Amino acid sequence: MKVSEFPDAFKKEREEKGYDSIEDQNDPAMMILGHKDVRKCAHQWQTFQSGAKPGRIVIPSEVNIRETRQIPFEVDPPEHKSYRNLLEAWFKRPLNEDYKNQLTTQIESIVDEVLNKDAIEVVGDFSLPLQSRALTLLLNIPYSEADLWISWGTHVFRSEDTALDADKANILYNYIDQEIDKAIENPSESLYSQLLNSKVNGKKLTKEEVKGVMILTFAGGRDTVINAVTNSIAYFSEHPNSLKALKENPAMINKAVEELVRYFTPLTQMGRVATKDAEVCEHAVKADSRIALNWASANRDERVFENPNEVVLDRKVNPHLSFGFGIHNCLGATHARQILRILLATLSKKVTSIDVLEAKENIEDLGNFKRKVGFDSLKVQFNK
Ligand code: HEM
Ligand code: EMZ
């Protein structure tokens, strides 16, 4: 398979019945595959809730590796809205000029670094440091803190051989506990301090609530960004003319980012738990069972996207669901989009071609479905 090719794993089932069930630790989930149905179910938060047992809406389920509720991700209205109101402005900071300039400096310097080398392993030596350094801007803490996060590897709940790794998750939880205590002693301008100073419905946020926001910020924005960056490099390695097109027409960059994010869909799906007996695609969903909003499948729905399996960098209408849909839409999307826009601008200016030396694909195992979501490793050479 070409490194830039990411097949549609769900086509047959989406076209034939619109759903299919997958096993997951004795808690199966009914995957919703069509664009229209995914949007409809995402809207029905009263029937399909996020505020179930912490970890249960994630696939694979994380109920066995954490107890802290991630906020605002695992909360339903009306509380959800109060938390969003609190966080919205902070997560829009990536639109500020100063933020963009700092992010540009970071990304240009990492691209300059790799330009001088013979071989670069993109996942560990490019995407992970880029993601971690950029996160210091979002949290508004010193740049040097990124070194520690880089040492944790690409996913905070996974290690090389275990899909769900409780020991590894504890490294993150203990770290966040410590950082919260530090911020209580020495308040600063960081997100920790901002949260510790905030009130929701007249009450100060508890340490557990602050932890819930911070875990989500670390976990949700980690392998998604790493995959988006790595897969973009894979794409341009086989499409050098697209880099040239972006250099000649930088106005196309925003559309190109949306299209790459649609095509890769870094987060395959997210679950919900039925609060009562319901029906989706004329199929019964029992109370307390799980459904999964499959963003990846919806993004290849031929009823919505012309030539869904092709990357059309200047695609005009692109209602992709890669950042989710409805009230829980991705809070980190502004940050993620800035990273990718600046990355594309920088690559198109500084790099003429990228040679792939070695690639090991990361295939998500969803029982009957196998989906390529990124790479375990991708060795390339960047050429000036
Ligand atoms: C929610 C994808 C980057 C923080 C979501 C959702 C998706 C998503 C699909 C919806 C989940 C649902 O409906 O249950 C992505 C992708 C990213 C990305 C594809 C990168 C390309 C980030 C980053 C952060 C972040 C960088 C923060 C550092 C969040 C948060 C939510 C969320 C806090 C929950 C919002 C809520 O529940 O109201 N993301 N994400 N994400 N994401 Fe992201
Ligand atoms: C959860 C999730 C958030 C989950 C919006 O998505 O991202 C996953 O990578 C984490 O494992 O805990 O944060």
The pLDDT tens digits of the residues spanning 10-65 come to 999 999 999 999 999 999 999 999 999 999 999 999 999 999 999 999 999 999 98
**3 state SS of 162:** coil
The answer to whether residues 72 and 326 touch, using CB atoms and an 8 Å cutoff, is no
Q: Give the per-residue SS3 of 241-256.
A: HHHHHHHHCHHHHHHH
Per-residue pLDDT, 160 = 58
Q: How far does the centroid of ligand 2 lie from the alpha carbon of residue 219, in Å?
A: 5
Q: d(Cα 338, Cα 134) in Å, to the nearest integer?
A: 10
Per-residue pLDDT, 26 = 95
Per-residue pLDDT, 159 = 61
**Pocket test residue of 216, 269, 329 for ligand 2, highest count of atoms within 8 A of CB:** 216
pLDDT (tens digit, 9 = 90+) per residue, 237-267?
Answer: 999 999 999 999 999 999 999 999 999 999 9
Ligand 1 atom with minimal separation from the 84 CA:
38
Q: Which two tokens stand for residue 299?
A: 């993004």
Ligand 1 atom with minimal separation from the 75 CA:
37
Q: Is 313 exposed, middle or buried (0-12, 13-18, 19+ CB in 10 A)?
A: buried
Q: d(Cα 252, Cα 35) in Å, to the nearest integer?
A: 25
Per-residue pLDDT of the chain (384 residues), as tens digits, is 799 999 999 999 999 999 999 999 999 999 999 999 999 999 999 999 999 999 999 999 999 988 999 999 999 999 999 999 999 999 999 999 999 999 999 999 999 999 979 999 999 999 999 999 999 999 999 999 999 999 988 777 766 566 677 777 889 999 999 999 999 999 999 999 999 999 998 999 999 999 999 999 999 899 999 999 999 999 999 999 999 999 999 999 999 999 999 999 999 999 999 999 999 999 999 999 999 999 999 999 999 999 999 999 999 999 999 999 999 999 999 999 999 999 999 999 999 999 999 999 999 999 889 999 999 999 999 999
Q: d(Cα 263, Cα 331) in Å, to the nearest integer?
A: 20
Per-residue pLDDT, 20 = 97
Closest by Cα among 301, 337, 331, 336 to 319: 301
Q: d(Cα 232, Cα 210) in Å, to the nearest integer?
A: 33
Q: d(Cα 377, Cα 113) in Å, to the nearest integer?
A: 19
Local structure of residue 206 (DSSP, 8 states): P
Q: Which two tokens stand for residue 280?
A: 């989706």
The answer to whether residues 295 and 306 touch, using CB atoms and an 8 Å cutoff, is no
Q: Which two tokens stand for residue 107?
A: 């990304």
**All domains in the chain, ordered by first residue:** 11-383 (1.10.630.10)
Per-residue pLDDT, 354 = 97
Place of tokens 């969803």: 366
CA-CA distances (angstroms) from residue 130 to 111, 135, 146, 229, 337? 10, 9, 9, 9, 14
Q: d(Cα 125, Cα 202) in Å, to the nearest integer?
A: 45
Ligand 2 atom with minimal separation from the 216 CA:
13
Pocket of ligand 1 (CB under 6 A): 50, 72-73, 84, 138, 216-217, 220-221, 224-225, 228, 261, 266-267, 270, 295, 322-324, 328, 330-332, 335-336
The answer to whether residues 379 and 120 touch, using CB atoms and an 8 Å cutoff, is yes
Q: Is 303 exposed, middle or buried (0-12, 13-18, 19+ CB in 10 A)?
A: exposed
Closest C-alpha to ligand 2, atom 2: 220
Q: Which two tokens stand for residue 174?
A: 């203990």
The answer to whether residues 342 and 100 touch, using CB atoms and an 8 Å cutoff, is yes
Ligand 2 neighbour 216 (Cβ under 6 A):
yes
User: Taking every pair of C-alpha atoms in the chain, what is the biggest distance, in angstroms?
Assistant: 59
- The answer to ipTM > 0.90 is yes
Per-residue pLDDT, 161 = 62
Q: Which two tokens stand for residue 212?
A: 């819930």
Q: Which stretches of 221-302 are DSSP H helices?
A: 223-238, 240-248, 253-264, 295-298
